[in-house]
Structure 1
Amino acid sequence: MFITMAWTIFRKAILLLQYAHTFVHWKMLQFGFKIKSTKEVIGQIPRLVVGGVKSFVGKIPVGNPGGANVPPLKAFPIDSELQSIFAKAGINVH
């Protein structure tokens, strides 16, 4: 239960905090070490290296939750809860 909740929070943070998203990938890498997930650790390293640059230039795929279980360049639909937060902030995410 805790692990599922933690990943849900990380994935929402990636989408809501695009400009701070490299820091979130750093925390995901640390969490991967904590839960002894080799896949997550290996998956977060290129996201840290490349993700920071892509964030800086605004080239992040829309809706990508950032975990090692999804392709790093694939766009995903954004759930209605997050769409509502973006809309209230006047941010168009389509």
Structure 2
Amino acid sequence: MDSNTIPSRDAFLAEEYRRAAEASDEQNFEEAWHHLERAHVVAQDRLGPHCVSHWRMLELAWRTRDWRELLGQIFRLSLAPIGNITGRLPIGNSGRSNVSAFARMEIEPEISRVLGQSPAQDVHGSK
């Protein structure tokens, strides 16, 4: 994406999903996961997009026959509605099963801008 403009969340998600699919088609699975993780951080606070991000991760886990990740995505798909309804979401979490489903993580500056936050804000939303 052009670093001079801030895309809308929906445009950002569409682009990250496109890049993930392209990388997956090229069997560059590490790159595909990278784009799905970025999409998850942006989608996380909206229930529908949040579930879509985990579903796409589940699909990639299936494609790569990563059974641990697949089970982790099933678990996260079941937790996503609860987290969204209660507002108890681990901000910045990559959505992968290689990190705790409850761990907050640092947000990349580009993603902070998409979310309408100052890149200087920490994972707790303070400066």
Q: TM-score normalised by the shorter chain: which range applies? A: 0.7 to 0.9
The residue type paired with residue 29 of structure 2 is I
* Bigger radius of gyration among the two: 2
Counterpart in the other structure of 1:79: 108
Counterpart in the other structure of 1:5: 31
Quick one: distance in 2 between partners of 1:87 and 1:35? Answer: 34
Q: How many angstroms does 1:57 deviate by?
A: 2.9
- Structure 2: give runs of 5+ residues left out of the alignment: 1-26
Question: What's the TM-score once normalised by structure 2's chain length?
Answer: 0.65
- Structure 1: give runs of 5+ residues left out of the alignment: none
Counterpart in the other structure of 1:50: 79
Counterpart in the other structure of 2:62: 33
The residue type paired with residue 81 of structure 1 is E
Quick one: distance in 2 between partners of 1:50 and 1:82? Answer: 23
Quick one: distance in 2 between partners of 1:11 and 1:52? Answer: 18
Quick one: distance in 2 between partners of 1:58 and 1:65? Answer: 17
Counterpart in the other structure of 1:23: 52
Q: Which has the higher contact order (CA 8 A, sep 6+)?
A: 1
Equivalences, count = 91
The residue type paired with residue 14 of structure 1 is H
More helix by share: 1
% identity of equivalent residues:
27
Aligned Cα root-mean-square deviation (Å) = 1.8
Q: How many angstroms does 1:45 deviate by?
A: 1.2
Quick one: distance in 2 between partners of 1:46 and 1:40? Answer: 10
Quick one: distance in 2 between partners of 1:24 and 1:36? Answer: 18
Quick one: distance in 1 between partners of 2:86 and 2:112? Answer: 22
Quick one: distance in 1 between partners of 2:58 and 2:42? Answer: 18
Q: How many angstroms does 1:74 deviate by?
A: 0.5
